[in-house]
Structure 1
């Protein structure tokens, strides 16, 4: 995974004072390490498997368009519910890219495209259900063609339902990382050094 998933700005500044005591009897004690633990929003997003789901979106888009081309010679209206499935291919490509490297612009674009894919999946599913195949009454094989078209439409409807589920899953995980200017903004931490000198009192000796 290339690229940084965090940045620092001065939105939050933490100052940690510590003291260094120096004298002849004590060693100088310096804070050597400091651990900053944070929950990486990008790694949380990766738990949703965006690369695998993006690949599935691409295949769904390709299959849906293929079904539309198969039905074109029998039902021109089928293109209305299948050709716009190119949106799934674009969404899948962006989802895969968002899971490959941390890039907030790609992530936000993927989020918007998945929203559009979600609503189009529902619209295409409705169009597929209400579409009546084989309106050519003069065709003697209309019933056979109707059954064939209906079978393809059922398979396409199943793909659309799967696309809806994938969009919901991706939107859920992307929402955990997208509503911010960067994936992780860490505070600026200053270590304030306070040097204190200790003077050792030596008793004065008097001569007799």
Structure 2
């Protein structure tokens, strides 16, 4: 026979029993006992969503600022891997909002945006080294085959920031999954009976 109900430790009830040696009639069961309910949202708050959301916002703004420098100097083709970093700002705002209020639709939306941000950070890390300096003025100034150190440095900064965003998105996906991906049915409380010796 298959078990359809299982204990998931969401609700833990602890009943302390009196000692059997010292018990009188009707005093084995206590009048009060403790019940601890583990809220999934409180577990999510252990991941510090406000701080991580603020870090996501600052990384997104910094990537767009560095991207604006790259675009102004080296051509508009570099918008492709810097402008979509506005996703980092959007997911940071949603993560900060999810950490401020226990409104589950905001937590779920933040979870979705962090998954999208994770994939964009991976795509940006792949695309960043492939982008070449396409500016006409810099192509004529440099000898063929030489790379502009400023351009390489700015691409390295964008790559490092996208790497940080990748790590932040992974951490937030882990903590948000604890709040969003939880069983809603077929669960029973865990009952612990403790006996005094």
Are the aligned partners of 1:134 and 1:145 in contact in 2 as well (CA < 8 Å)?
A: no
TM-score (norm 1): 0.67
- Structure-2 residue corresponding to 1:45: 44
**How do 1:24-39 and structure 2 match up within 5 A?**
33=32, 35-39=34-38
Aligned length: 160
- Structure-2 residue corresponding to 1:80: 80
Are the aligned partners of 2:59 and 2:88 in contact in 1 as well (CA < 8 Å)?
A: yes
Q: Does 1:116 align with 2:116?
A: yes
Quote the offset at 1:75 in angstroms. Answer: 2.7
- Distance (whole Å) between structure 1 residues aligned to residue 149 and residue 90 of structure 2: 32
- Distance (whole Å) between structure 1 residues aligned to residue 43 and residue 33 of structure 2: 24
TM-score (norm 2): 0.71
**How do 1:115-154 and structure 2 match up within 5 A?**
115-134=115-134, 136=136, 139-142=139-142, 146-154=148-156
**How do 1:62-77 and structure 2 match up within 5 A?**
62-73=61-72, 74-77=74-77
- Distance (whole Å) between structure 1 residues aligned to residue 183 and residue 65 of structure 2: 39
- Structure-2 residue corresponding to 1:159: 161
- Structure-1 residue corresponding to 2:57: 58
- Structure-1 residue corresponding to 2:180: 178
- Distance (whole Å) between structure 2 residues aligned to residue 180 and residue 130 of structure 1: 40
Quote the offset at 1:88 in angstroms. Answer: 0.5
- Distance (whole Å) between structure 2 residues aligned to residue 142 and residue 52 of structure 1: 44
Are the aligned partners of 1:117 and 1:167 in contact in 2 as well (CA < 8 Å)?
A: yes
- Distance (whole Å) between structure 1 residues aligned to residue 49 and residue 31 of structure 2: 39
For structure 2, the 5+ residue unaligned runs are 1-29, 190-197
Deviations along 1:95-147, one digit per CA (max 9) or x if unpaired, are: 01111111100000000000000001111111111111245377443379821
Are the aligned partners of 1:133 and 1:150 in contact in 2 as well (CA < 8 Å)?
A: no
Quote the offset at 1:43 in angstroms. Answer: 1.5
Quote the offset at 1:181 in angstroms. Answer: 8.5
- Structure-2 residue corresponding to 1:100: 100
- Distance (whole Å) between structure 1 residues aligned to residue 115 and residue 124 of structure 2: 14
- Distance (whole Å) between structure 1 residues aligned to residue 36 and residue 188 of structure 2: 10
Structure number with the higher helix fraction is 2
- Structure-1 residue corresponding to 2:20: none
Are the aligned partners of 1:108 and 1:178 in contact in 2 as well (CA < 8 Å)?
A: yes
